[in-house]
Amino acid sequence: MAEYKTLKINQIKPNSSVFYLYLNRPSHRNALSRDFFDEFPRALKSLDQNPNVNAIILAGAGDHFCAGIDINTLSSITKSADRGRSGEWFRREIKYLQSAITALEECRKPVIVGIHGACIGGGIDIISACDIRYCTEDAFFSVKEVDLAITADLGTLQRLPGIVGYGNAMELALTARRFSGLEAKEMGLVSRVFGSKDDLDGFVAQIAEDIAAKSPLAITGTKAVLLKSKDLNLEQGLDYVATWNSAMLLSDDLKEATSAFFQKRKPVFSKL
Ligand SMILES: CC/C=C\C=C\CC(=O)SCCNC(=O)CCNC(=O)[C@H](O)C(C)(C)COP(=O)(O)OP(=O)(O)OC[C@H]1O[C@@H](n2cnc3c(N)ncnc32)[C@H](O)[C@@H]1OP(=O)(O)O
C-alpha cells in the first residue's frame, strides 16, 4: 500500500473487502492542503483498481472530519503574471482541485462516508460527492465559502441541490451558517445520525460489509447508472441502463445469485 502525507488506507479487518480511507492530518483538523489534492485521486484510483476492494469507508482521523481547504494553501495560490495569464492559470488550478473531488464519483467502488465533528467548506464538497453519508449527532456542517469571500467551486453548488433540494442548498450556501447532524438528517444530507462515534463506526462498517458481499458488478452498475441518471431525462436514463445491462447483466454473478437463492445459501461472487 502506498504511503501518503495526508491520507491513510487500512483494510477494515483481515480478509475483508472493505477498506478505510482516512483524511489523516488531525493536527490541522484534516484541512485540505495541496498534497491532499495530489494524493486523494491517486488513493481512490488505487482502491478502484485493487480487485480485493469492494467498498470504501471515508472518515476523518482525530476529532473532526474536515476543516475545509487549508487556509495557508488558499493564501499561496496567487500568481504574479499579467491578469489574463494569471486568470488562465487559476482556472486550470481550480479544475485540478475539482478533479480530486470528482474522483469520488469516478471510483467504481461505493464510497460511504462517516462524518464526526466539523465538516466545513471543502469537507462539504467531499461528502456531496460520496455515495452514502452518515454522521454523529455532534457533527456540525457549514458551507463556509462565502465567509472567506469565495464562491464555492469544488462541487458543493452543483451537487448539494440534488441532495438537500435547491432551496436548502441556496440557504446554506448564502448564509454559511453552521448546522447540526440532526438538521443534516432532516434535510437528507445524511441518511442516519448516531449518538456516538462508536455507534457510527460500527454501523458504517456493517453496512459496508453488507454492500461488499453483494455482486460487485451489480454494485458498480448501480453507482454508475444512478450517477449518470442525474444528467439524463427518464427516456435517456432508461435507454442508458438498457444498454448497460445488455452488456453486463448476463454474468456469472447472476447465475451465482439465482443458484444461491434456490440452494438457500449466501452467494459468493468473484472479484471485480
Ligand atoms: C480555490 C478554492 C478551493 C476550495 C475552497 C474551499 C473553501 C473552504 O473550505 S472554506 C472553509 C475553511 N475552513 C474554515 O473556515 C474552518 C477553520 N477551522 C475551524 O473553524 C476550526 O479549526 C475547527 C475545524 C472548528 C476545529 O476547531 P478546534 O478543534 O478548536 O481546532 P483549532 O484549534 O481551531 O485548530 C487546530 C489547528 O488546526 C489549524 N486549522 C484548523 N482549520 C484549518 C484550516 N482550514 N486551514 C489551515 N489550518 C487549519 C488551526 O490553525 C490550528 O493550528 P495551530 O497551529 O495548532 O494553531
Q: What is the mean pLDDT of each run of 10 residues along the chain (272 residues)?
A: 92 97 98 97 98 98 98 76 87 96 98 98 98 98 97 98 98 98 98 98 98 98 98 98 95 96 96 92
Q: Is 25 in the pocket of ligand 1 (CB under 6 A)?
A: no
The Cβ of residue 138 has, within 10 Å, a number of other Cβ atoms equal to 14
* pLDDT at 73 (0 to 100): 85
Radius of gyration in angstroms for the set of CA atoms belonging to the chain, rounded to a whole number: 20
Q: Is 173 in the pocket of ligand 1 (CB under 6 A)?
A: no
Mutate to test the pocket of ligand 1, among 25, 28, 29, 102 (most ligand atoms within 8 A of CB): 29
* pLDDT at 120 (0 to 100): 98
Protein residue with least CA distance to atom 57, ligand 1: 28
* pLDDT at 241 (0 to 100): 98
* pLDDT at 242 (0 to 100): 97
* pLDDT at 243 (0 to 100): 97
* pLDDT at 80 (0 to 100): 64
Q: Is 201 in the pocket of ligand 1 (CB under 6 A)?
A: no
Comparing CA positions, the residue from 117, 108, 120 lying closest to residue 71 is: 120
Contacts of 32 (CB under 8 A, 6+ apart): 6, 23, 66, 68, 69, 70, 73, 122
* pLDDT at 146 (0 to 100): 98
* pLDDT at 79 (0 to 100): 62
